[in-house]
Amino acid sequence: MIKKWRDGLSPLNEFSEEQSESLNEVIIKINSFEQSRSGNYPVWQFTRPEVIEFYGLLKKAHSSFGGRDTDVLPIDADIPRKFEGNQLIKSLEANAELLKVTDHVETLLMRVRSILSDTRMKSIASDSNIELHEWLENYIGDNKASNGSVTVIDLSLVPADIIHVLTAVIARITLESLQRYRKLNDGKTLPTVLVMEEAHTFVKRYKDDNEYHGSAEVCCKVFEKIAREGRKFGLGMVLSSQRPSELSPTVLSQCNSFLLHRISNERDQELVHKLVPDNLRGLLRDLPGLPSRNAFLLGWASELPVLVEMNHLPEGHRPKSNDPDYWDVWTGKNSKGEEIQRDVDWKQITDDWQQLVNNVENDDY
């Protein structure tokens, strides 16, 4: 690779004296490497002082052309170091040219440019004013939970084709931050729990034999890793889903407690029956007819499956998940005989809708 660099380096007339001098120093050093390793079977191995000296020359040349340390992508792609999208494209193009595979990466570059130009991806694919430690303070919690112990991330209006990317990024950052917390605190963990509503959207079962894995499969793999390894780093998960049969078997196998509400789908019932011993499956026959706020608790949280009743929440604390009142609206009267009417102002709705688009463009989810 160093020899290929040497072949592509040559000072031009339009370069300044400082630029030409720094570039010549790099070329001379590469030539000295080759001369000291001449022979039939040259071994291109370098000592630490040689590497440090060569790195210094490259850094000097890079700086003379107006470059900054932050312009260079990190050697480890997993390091969460801030960089702009155009730097990623330049890096891909430079590596492709160096390896002489430019013709084979055009489709890849086109897809990368398409993703970076998508305004919906701007919050995670472009430069942001927020620093990584600020994001962790806001979403995982500040010291002593001074900004609250619960963080709610509402992704309900995020487009379906990018929600898996956003969720995977959030989950991965959370896991790796807790891993490093344990590393720097003598093995002590920071207990954290991820609670996912409609979990089958993010932890959806996929086929291992597929040659191509889309964003949904990649997202599921992140949560599978959390399910397998998260506990020792203090990260737990709570999955809430009405379709347990669509969840990843890997994640389900790591769940140790289950709270089963009314289940009417046969496939879901079959899966649930596998969670309990044969002599206790009779208790689950009542699952299709369980009343609201009732559930079976089983697993580590209870030695034997038991029927429990959820606390009654005040109306202001309940989720907005009541059944639609079709008949009342269509007939114009409710169960008490009172007249009801639903006014529709589509202008108000479209104004709010279009304002949401503007917010997304401004990284304002």
Task: Assess whether 167 and 96 both reside in one domain.
Answer: no
- One domain for residues 150 and 250: yes
Q: How far lies 70's CA from each of 39, 66, 73, 211, in Å?
A: 39, 12, 7, 36
DSSP assignment of 18-52: HHHHHHHHHHHHHHHHHHHT-SSS------HHHHH
160 plus 183 within the same structural domain:
yes
Question: Tokens 């079709």 belong to which residue?
Answer: 326
Domain identity same for 280 and 165: no
56 with 169, same domain: the answer is: no
pLDDT(93) > 50:
yes
126 in any annotated domain:
no
Residue 210 confidence (pLDDT): 66
Same domain, residue pair 297 and 340: no
State whether 22 and 97 are in the same domain.
yes
Please give the pLDDT value at position 22. 82
255, 282, 298 - which closes a domain: 255
Range of the domain at 280: 258-322
Is 143 found in the same domain as 47? no
Q: Would you say residue 124 lies in a domain?
A: no
Residues 310 and 342 in one domain: no
How long, in residues, is the chain? 365
Would 115 be classed as within a structural domain? no
Residue 117 lies in a domain: no
Boundary of a domain, candidates 109, 140, 174? 109
- Total domains, the chain: 4
Residue 283 domain flag:
yes
Structural domain includes residue 317: yes
| Residue pointed to by tokens 């034997």 | 304
Closest CA to 164 of 208, 120, 108: 120
Rounded to two decimals, the pTM is: 0.65
Domain check: are 13 and 97 in the same one?
yes
Name which of 74-88, 98-112, 160-174, 351-365 the model is least confident about: 351-365
Residue 184, domain member (yes or no): yes
Pick the range with the lowest mean pLDDT from 60-74, 146-160, 248-262, 326-340: 60-74
> Does residue 114 lie within any of the structural domains?
no
Which pLDDT score is estimated for 363? 43
Q: Which of 255, 273, 292 is the last residue of a domain?
A: 255
- 144 and 216, same domain (yes or no): yes
Count CB-CB contacts under 10 A for residue 152.
7
pLDDT value for 364: 41
Q: Is the pLDDT of residue 356 over 60?
A: no
Query: Rounded distance, CA 252 to CA 275, Å?
Result: 10
Q: Which of 206-210, 215-219, 347-351 has the lowest mean pLDDT?
A: 206-210
Least confident of 34-38, 306-310, 324-328: 34-38
- Percent of the chain past pLDDT 90, that is, above it, reads 9
Of 57-66, 190-199, 274-283, least confident by mean pLDDT is 274-283
Q: How far apart are CA 163 and CA 169, in angstroms?
A: 10
Nearest to 297 by CA among 307, 289, 288: 307
Quick one: 251 and 262 in the same domain?
Answer: no
Provide the pLDDT for residue 37: 67
Q: Has residue 62 got a pLDDT over 70? A: yes
Measured CA to CA, the distance from residue 29 to residue 34 in angstroms comes to 9
**Mean of pLDDT over the chain:** 79
Q: What is the mean pLDDT of residues 164-186?
A: 90
